[in-house]
Each structure stands twice: as structure tokens, then as C-alpha cells.
Amino acid sequence: MNDHDPQQRRNPVWAFLSSVRLTIILLIILALASVIGTLVPQREDAVEFARRISPELFSLLSTLDIFDMYHSTWFRLLIGFLALNLTVCSIDRFPRTWKRFSALPRPDRQKPFEDLPQERSFVVRAERKSAAASVVEYLKGRYKRIRTKETESAHFIYGEKGRFSHFGVYLVHLSILIIIIGGLLGSFLGFEAYVNIAEGEKTRTVILRNTMKPLDLGFEVRCDRFFVDFYRNGAPKEYRSDLTFLLGGQEVEKASALVNHPVHFRGITFYQSSYGVIPKVRIRVSRHASQAESRIVELEQGDQVELPGGGGVFSVTRFSGNFMNRFGPAVRILVRPIKGHEIRFWVVKEMEALKKILPAPIDNFPGLDPSAFKPYTFSFMDRVKGRYYTGLQVNRDPGVPLVWAGCFLMMAGFFVTFFTSHKRIWVRVSGHDTGVRVSVAGTANKNPVGLERELDKVTREIGRLFKKG
Amino acid sequence: MLHSIILSYVTFVYFGAFLLYLIMMVMGRAVFGRLATCVAGGGFLIQTWAIITRWMTSYKMGIGHAPFSNLYESLIFFAWALMLLYLIVEWRTKNRTMGVFVTPLAFLALAYASFSPNISNQIQPLIPALKSNWLIAHVITCFFGYAAFGLSFGLSLMYLIKRVGTGSERNIFLRLIPETGILDILNYQMIAIGFLMLTLGIITGSVWAHSAWGSYWSWDPKETWSLITWLIYASVLHSRMVRGWKGKRIAILCIIGFSCVLFTYFGVNYLAGLHSYAKS
């Protein structure tokens, strides 16, 4: 931080944005903020939670966007601020890094040899010049940018390697920016949606997850069949949807979506995400409560069926396996007469049992009365095997390739940052009464232990050079 | 099943190794240290054998998959990775004092896996979401990351104990712990390995989530907590590499970091999320 460009030093905004203290504070704030979102239920799950808290707390939390925290403006601004900080930091430090990268120190520097441990120097019987020449030859095989210098008293040889290690950090920072850009691209140009399609049905629209609005795909997708396979212990083994894509009514492509094996069509990806069975029931509709004028109808949830004798239609809008958690299976019937208001009521399968529980005759409970629509009486006979529907997650995310590129770059950056270091080595071959003294010294920008190991090795190998000759 | 019974015995082998390391530290006799290494190494080999057997058994049952699919299997693998990494560090540094701080973690993980009533040791078939080649890469990278952070936690404790006890040179326990400078360097190396592995774990998890759930990042609690852990260790690395923080402050941050790791691993199970199969 000492060798700041004076022009930059004067700018307090730049100084603030380029400080690593800010980075650390931002990282910790981001970490703490992320904790909130894991404790407070998000998005769809928030509804249940919101019912249990006081209205004041609810309005406070929803003002702060806590229920969809990770997509809130303030959280995005925080990430943006971190991105800005790491960009400024990188720009601010780059000139110095470049200097360290390109600097070529003098071969005859004395400083590295100060306090040299004894084992890093030894005496050999050789002539100085030829000794220096063989050291140069050896270093050329292991190091780059070899420089030599000859003085009256000694020969100096300098070599280095791994100077690209200074740029590892920049690769990591760049990769984070790329991942953030990829994420932004996905959230602005992509979408996340879902759709349920019954076997044999097709659809052109899907429901967006964030707004719950329909989205036109521009083509149709049909679910030909849905399969579910179970293990012997009852756990699910495989879900599969056989899909057909249609353009203008023409079948274009067929594919199967499995969990972990999504299907891609025209830049949109379809993921197998859930499934279910469309409720299908048998209903007896009788007029004047007489068996004679009754009809048994088999219908799926959503089907509209004409009332016997005309006068309107009815449908099953919901099915409950255990109505109000105590009355057993039930269906909700919707009757739309040609004249008059539509009417909704539940029909319980075990009507006799219900009548015993109720404190008053059933006509006092219009929502539970099977004869609420006069003069008809509905009874729920049984549930029959219905069709499957498949639940598909439908996404488009043009940011994904960038995110993967960023991840790849990050790993490369980590490798350079953690496992390479810029090692500089100086060897001094000095005149001596009984021969020449060879001394080995070095510096590294990181990993001092690795440097020691390297220097040990180089000293040993140079020593061996002279033993042979 | 035989391998589960053997794995529950390995729990006690690691406890025995811990006691031997402790005796070495208290009495200052190197012979106990050598014995401790033998016991720990032996336990590790038996554990390796048991994991391979479990793997092969699942294939014989016709539901073959790598033993990384539920909490039981992940705890076993966590203890295994921790011991492997520890034994490598012990061998490289020729110092056994870390054993006292690391073997209890392996022992606790195995004890929890083997003796908790809530954890099933049965080999279960893979549910569709787990049927992916990314399972192996994701679990191995994550748990080696956790193991490295576990070692960093042990080293940080050692650092703080050594710092508090400087001056009392007569205490054998304190004297045997390496110099604070060495602990600091070793700790940094563990953080670097852990951070790299955690990053790889998050990336492999993202790639997998992208094909299984349709989104490479869903802010699921486990994902978010792994990001929180990542942010904490990122700040540790920045404070050390750029601001030159050393020693005590780094040691404390590493202990906070490891508690985030533990929360990512266990605490998240109490929050709702997509990683539900890692609960039992």
C-alpha cells in the first residue's frame, strides 16, 4: 500500500473502494445476510410462516424483502458492491503486480546471501569459470530468464520460475465477475417456469415461478406417457415423461425427460420435477332423491358433465383424501345451472358417518349438503384409477455457459494461486584458497516451506554435479 | 451387516488412538506416539476395507452405488477423509501432536454414525435425484474440504493453546506442540486445500443441480450455508494474504469457519430444503 500512485492516493473514493478491509467486511456482511434467508422461509414457503408472526413484524420483513431476500435489490446491490470492490482492487494492484512479474533483479544482489544457512554453501575443487559454466548449464534446465554476472571476486547466476503465479489472484477475481455476469444474464434474459401436463394432453404455455403468470413457449409440448417405477422397498426408482414437441401442430421431436436427464428443445430445458394422478371419481346424481331417475357418472377433476334432464352442468373441482382431516374421502362439486347462481359444496363418501357427527340435520350445513342444489342429490361412490400428470420444470438460462466458464477459470486461478509460486534463485561461485565456494540462495512470493525444499534440492544437485566431474 | 459392525468397532480403535496420542503428550514418551500412529493407521485400513465391502455389497444386492448416499455413509466417509489427510500430514511433518486434536473428530463422527438411533446404517437404493455420476465427485470434494477444515480447526486450537501457555516450558504437553510459526503455516496450507475442495464441491454440486433440479443455484439452505462457509474462508485468506494477519486472529476465524462447516453439514438438516436425503 506504500507505493500508491500519488494521483490515486488523493482520491478518497478510490482508496476506499480499493481497500481489502472493505473486501473482508463485505464478505462477512454477505455471509451474515445469507444466514437470514436460511432461517426465514423464502418465496412459496413464506406463506405459512407469515401466518404465525405478528402483522407488524410481517410488514417490517416484507418491506425489507426478507421473504425473497436473495432476489431483493439490496442483496443484489451488496453483490454488486463486492464486484465493484474486487474490480477496483484488481485495477489498483495490477501495476505493482506487473512490476513484480517483469522485474529482473541483478544477478549479483547480495541481500539474498545474508544469513545464509551453512548447508546452502559448499566448497568444491574446481576452477571458478568452469564451475560457473556448469551451474549455468544446470540452472538452464530448471529455470527461466537465466542471467549471469562476473565480478572480480565471484560469478553470479540468477534464475527464476513461476512468475505467472502473480496473476492467479486476477484469474480468480475475473472468474467471480464472469460468474456474476452469467447469473445476471440468466435472471434478465432467462426464465424459470413449471407446467403440469396430463398424459395425452399438450400445452403451449407454462407458469412463471416468480410472477405466476403464463408464458407462451412458441411451440407445443405433449406428454405421451408418464412412468414411475419403484424399488421393492417402495422408494421411487425412476420417473420418466415421454414428451413430443410440436410446431404448428406438426410433431418435430420426441424425447424422454428423466430426473438428472433433462430434455432440451429450442433453447428451453424441460426437467422432470414432480408427478401426480388426476383425481377421477364415480358420482351418482339422482333427481328427487329417487333411485329411479339416477345416473352414475365417471369423471376426472375438471371435466364438465351435463346434469341428468338438462338444466346445467356440474364438475368436480377438488378431491380430498381425508376431508378436514376427519371425514374421510370427499369431493367438491361445482354446479353451473343455465339459470341462477353457481353453487359449490363438498360431498363426503361416508355420508352416514358424517350425519352422526354433525350436531344438526345436514340441510343446516349448505357447504356439506349433497342435496344443496335442488332437486338433485349427489353421492360420491368411489375413486377410480386416474391418469398420471407429469410436473415439468421449464427453464431458459442463457447465462449458464458463462457461469461454467467462470467456474473453470476459478479452478485454474486457484491452482495458480495456491500451488505455484514465483521462485527466484541466486547462485554465487566465489574464489577460495582451496577451490571455489558455491552458495545457493533464493526468494519466493509465497510458500516459504516449498522454497526451502527447492533450495535444498538445488544445493544437493549442484553438489552432485561436481562430484561426478 | 458385517461391515457396519466392523465400522462401529473402528470407532473404538480411533478412540484408542486418541488415548495413546494423549498419553504421549502427557508423558512425553515417543513410544506411545508410534503406537498411536500404528493404531490409527490400522483403524484406517480396516475402515477402508469396510467401505469397499459396503460398496461391493450394494452391487450384490442389485442396487449398486458408491457409499455416499445418506448421512450414515457420509459420516463414515468424513471420518475416513479426516484420518487419511491427518495421516498424510503426520507423515509429512513427522509430528504426532496433531493426533490428539484430530482423532476425536473422527471418533465422534463414527460414533454418531454407528450409535445414533436416528441414523440408519442400511444400504438403501438410490432415489432418482441421486442417480448421477456427479454424486461421487460432489461428495468426495466436499468431504475432503470438510476434512481439511477439520484439520485447520485442530491446528487453530493447538495454536491458541500454545499461545496461552508460552512461558510454561516445563509442561510436556505444551512443549511438544510445534512452534506457533509452523502451526500457522500448516494451518494456511489446510485452509488452501479446504477452500479449493469446497469450491470444487460447490461447482460439482451446481453442475449436478443444473441437471437434476433445473437450476445451478437455488438458494437451498445447504447451498447457502456452503456459500457462507466459502465467504468466511475467503475472508480468512484475504486477511492473511493481503493484510498480513497471522496467528491468533486467523486461528479464531478458522474456528468460526469450522463451526460454519458443521452447520452446513448438520445444522441445515433442521431447516427445510432440497438436500433432504442427507438427513438420515
DSSP character at residue A43? G
**Contact (CB, 8 A) for B80 and B51:** yes
A118: pLDDT strictly greater than 80:
yes
Asked if the model's pLDDT at residue A4 lies above 70, the reply is no
Reported ipTM: the value is 0.90
Length of chain B, in residues: 280
Report whether pLDDT(A422) > 50: yes
Instruction: Give percent of chain A above pLDDT 90.
Output: 48
Asked if pLDDT for residue A225 goes beyond 90, the answer is yes
Least confident of A39-48, A92-101, A246-255, B18-27: A39-48
Read off the pLDDT of each residue in A25-48 and give the average, rounded to a whole number: 87
Residue B211 is nearest to which of A239, A260, A449, comparing CB atoms? A260
The minimal CB distance from B125 to the residues A42, A235, A414 is found for A235
Query: pTM to 2 decimals?
Result: 0.86
For the cut 90, the answer to whether the pLDDT of residue A52 exceeds it is no
Which residues lie across from A330 on neighbouring strands?
A320, A348
Q: Report CB contact under 8 Å: B128, A38.
A: no
Would you state the pLDDT for residue A10? 62
Examine the pLDDT at A92 and tell me if it is beyond 80. Answer: yes
Burial (0-12, 13-18, 19+ Cβ within 10 Å), B267: middle
A261 contacts on B by Cβ (under 8 Å): 211
From B127, B208, B272, residue closest to A236, measured CB to CB: B127
Report the C-alpha gap between B81 and A118 in whole angstroms.
40
Identify the pLDDT of residue A94. 93
**Which candidate in B94, B136, B213 is best for mutational testing of the A interface (most A CBs within 10 A)?**
B213
The secondary structure of chain B as a DSSP string is -HHHHHHHHHHHHHHHHHHHHHHHHHH--HHHHHHHHHHHHHHHHHHHHHHHHHHHHHHHTT----S-SSHHHHHHHHHHHHHHHHHHHHHHHT--TTHHHHHHHHHHHHHHHHH-TT---S--PPPGGG-STHHHHHHHHHHHHHHHHHHHHHHHHHHHHHHHTTT-TT-HHHHHSPPHHHHHHHHHHHHHHHHHHHHHHHHHHHHHHHHHTS-S----HHHHHHHHHHHHHHHHHHHHHTT---THHHHHHHHHHHHHHHHHHTGGGGS--S-GGG--
pLDDT of A2 higher than 50: no
Residue B5 confidence (pLDDT) above 60? yes
A-B contacts at Cβ under 8 angstroms: 113
Contacts of A411 in chain B (CB under 8 A): 196, 199-200, 203
Q: Among partner residues A20, A233, A259, which is closest to B129 by beta-carbon distance?
A: A259
Q: In this predicted structure, what is the pLDDT of residue A289?
A: 56
CA closest to A31 among chain B residues: B228
| A1 at B interface, C-beta within 8 A | no
Closest by CA to B106, choosing from B52, B51, B151, is: B151
* Radius of gyration of chain A from its Cα atoms, rounded to whole angstroms: 39
A238–chain B Cβ distance below 8 A for any pair: yes
Total residue length of chain A: 469
Over residues B62-75, the mean pLDDT reads: 90
CA–CA separation, A389 vs A197, rounded Å? Answer: 5
pLDDT in tens, A355-407: 888 777 877 787 888 888 888 888 898 899 889 999 999 999 999 999 999 99
Inter-chain residue contact A34 with B212, CB threshold 8 Å: no
Could you read off the pLDDT of A334-344 as tens digits, one per residue? 999 888 888 99
Give A-chain residues touching B234 at CB under 8 angstroms. 27
pLDDT at A290 over 60: no
E-only strand ranges, A50-201: 121-124, 144-150, 154-161, 191-198
**A41 in reach of chain B (CB within 8 A):** yes
Written as nine digits, the cell of A135 is: 551451474
Query: To the nearest whole angstrom, how far is the Cα of B23 from the nearest Cα of chain A?
Result: 30
Question: Using CB atoms, which residue from A183, A393, A414 is nearest to B199?
Answer: A414
The mean pLDDT of A138-164, rounded to a whole number, is 91
Residues 429 to 448 of A: which have CB under 8 A from any B CB? 446, 448
Where residue A1 falls among pLDDT bands split at 50, 70, 90? very low
Mean pLDDT of A462-469: 77
Q: Read off the pLDDT band of B277 (50, 70, 90).
A: low
Q: For residue A375, is the peptide bond before it cis, meaning its omega torsion is within 30 degrees of 0? A: yes
Facing residue for B219 by CB, picked from A37, A39, A404: A37
pLDDT over 90 (residue B2): no
Query: Do the Cβ atoms of B231 and A30 come within 8 Å?
Result: yes
Lowest-confidence pick of A142-151, B159-168, B204-213? B159-168
* Confidence band, pLDDT 50/70/90 cuts, at residue A43: confident
Residue B108 reports pLDDT greater than 50: yes
* Better pLDDT: A153 or A8: A153
Please check whether residue A28 touches B, CB under 8 A.
yes
Q: Tell me the fold of A104-162+421-468.
A: TATA-Binding Protein (3.30.310)
A352-361 exposure pattern, b = at least 16 Cβ within 10 A, e = fewer? eebeeeeeee
Among chain B residues, the shortest Cα distance to A415 is held by B196
Determine the pLDDT at residue B274: 59
With left for phi above 0 and alpha for psi between -120 and 50, is residue B94 left, alpha or beta? left
* Lookup result for grid cell 495458480: A416
What local confidence, expressed as pLDDT, does residue A9 receive?
Answer: 58
- Residue B272: per-residue pLDDT: 63
Residues of A in contact with B231 (CB under 8 A): 27-28, 30-31, 34
- From the list B108, B110, B102, the residue with the least C-alpha distance to B86 is B102
- Better-predicted residue by pLDDT, A326 or A400: A400
d(CA A137, CA A139): 6
Whether A259 sits inside 8 A of B212 (CB atoms) is yes
Residues in chain B with CB shorter than 8 Å from the CB of A43 are none
- For the ranges A44-53, B78-87, B212-221, the maximum mean pLDDT occurs at B78-87
Lowest mean pLDDT among A44-53, A421-430, A448-457: A44-53
DSSP state of A367: G
* Closest partner CB to B231 (pick from A31, A38, A414): A31
